[in-house]
Structure formats: structure tokens, C-alpha cells
Amino acid sequence: MEWVYDTQLVDYETALKAMQERVDQIYRKQKPELIWCLQHPPLFTAGTSAQKEELLNSFSLPVYYTGRGGRFTYHGPGQLIVYILVNLIERQLDIKAYLNLIENWIIETLQVCGINAEQRAGRIGVWVKNEAEEAKIAAIGIRVSRGVTWHGLAINVAPDLKYFTGVIPCGLSNFGVTSLAKIGAKVNLNQLQEILKTTCPFH
């Protein structure tokens, strides 16, 4: 497993092209599996289930219609993107087990940060509860090509949350979006990726 942490913003199209190439290399056993941590400049992405009416205000940002699962979400500085490129066939994992593994990885990581996060039946992603209100703190969107996963997860460390009002995040209008900064966690992106490394279920 190769682990890469980019400290500079990575263009979305550049990341897509790099992932596509790496998926092929992993499939052909030319390169090892990859976990790639990064941030994107401000943009929106739409998954294969996205409905056009769920984009409420693009804020004049780029909107990318991509092949990952899921619906609309925002990416930008202060959000840690973790692209996960692993061979599910080699690891004998189906997609349901893989998604469960990712959610539990995020939950365990946030526990190290002092945050109690949870899964919710029927809602992909990871959630935190503040009194009676629930909000999403991490989103997941994946694609599988020839048994190799790409795309991955996004954890809101300290992004500008106003941009999430531009979409119905993940198609769920009844729930808000939050961040580690908003709920008072004193963790930066570098620290978070180091914790993810120690709790990583892929070795």
C-alpha cells in the first residue's frame, strides 16, 4: 500500500486522470494500491444518482459530473479528501463490506479526535449529533472498475460550510453538514491524515 499526502490543492480533473491511470496499474499489478490524501480547490461534484434540481446555487464554481456513486457534494480547502484505490477481488470484499469498512475507519479516526460519530441505516456517510440535531461530517462516494475502487471519502475539517447550502448534500434535505472546526475539535488536516494512517484498515 502506498500512502500519499498532497499539501497543495490538487485540480479535480488532474486527480481523476491520475486515479484512472492508477486503477489500470493496480489491476495489471504494475503498481501497489494507493491511499491519496489531498484537498481540492472549491468545486461541486455530482455522482451518478444526482438530480439537477439538487443543485440550488453553484456560487459560480465548477460543477463536475463524475462517475462515482452518490449525489451532489462540495469539495474545497479545509476538507480532507481520501481517495482509496484498492483491489476488492484480492481483498475478498464486496461493495457493502467495503463501504462498512470505510465508515468504521472514519468513526474510529474521529474517536481518536474526541468526536463521537455514527453510522445511520440507509444513509451512507458518517454523522454527528449535537443535542437533537444530526449533521453529516464525512461523505463517501466510490466507483469500482475491474474490481479496483477509486474515489473515496471526504472529512470536513474546516471548510467554508456556506457552500454546502448550494446543494442538497447527498440528496438529504432534512440534515445539515458540519465540520470538526464547527463542533470544536482542535485537529488540522495534517494531524487528521496521520491519525487516518494509524487507524487504516488497509495494509
Report the C-alpha gap between 150 and 169 in whole angstroms: 20
Report the C-alpha gap between 1 and 37 in whole angstroms: 13
Angle at which helices 189-199 and 95-112 pack, to 10 degrees? 120
Q: What are the cell numbers at 112?
A: 481518536
For residue 135, the surrounding DSSP H or E stretch is strand 133-145
End-to-end distance of the chain based on CA atoms, in angstroms?
A: 6
Report the C-alpha gap between 56 and 45 in whole angstroms: 13
In this structure, are residues 9 and 39 in contact, taking their beta carbons and an 8 Å threshold? yes
Tell me, yes or no, if 37 is annotated catalytic. no
Strands 123-130, 43-46: pairing is: unpaired
Report the C-alpha gap between 185 and 115 in whole angstroms: 7
Q: How many CA atoms lie within 13 A of 104 on its CB side?
A: 9
* Catalytic pick among 37, 113, 170, 200: 170
Q: What are the cell numbers at 195?
A: 491519525
Catalytic residues: 170
